[in-house]
Amino acid sequence: MSTLPTLTTAQQRVVDLMRAGWELGASMSGIGGGPWLQKDGLGCGGECERVNGNTYSALLSKGVIKTQEARFPTRVLRLSKEWLT
């Protein structure tokens, strides 16, 4: 069993919100406001919260999040199975 990487406070907040049903999206076009979380899923009208680009990049490089679906212009991300609980 491997040990999960240590997360910063900002990274842990993203994980906690995703576990609570928020969905993480990122622009595929390079134009726009950067990654964001949206309550109840992307495009569903819920509250939004911006995610710092460095936080997003670190979560990707640590394997905490993975692409679930790429539907231009938005990449939809999910937690890796090790981070679901």
The three-class DSSP label of residue 35 is coil
Residues 6+ apart with CB under 8 A from 41: 21, 23
Question: Can you list the alpha helix ranges (DSSP code H) found in the chain?
Answer: 9-19, 53-61
d(CA 31, CA 33) in angstroms, rounded, equals 7
**Could you state, in order of their start, the residue ranges of all structural domains in the chain?**
9-83
Give this prediction's pTM.
0.90
Q: What is the pLDDT of residue 34?
A: 86
Q: List, for residues 34-80, the tens digit of each pLDDT value.
A: 899 999 988 888 999 999 999 999 999 999 999 999 888 889 999 99
**36: part of which helix (H) or strand (E)?**
strand 36-38
Q: What is the pLDDT of residue 85?
A: 79
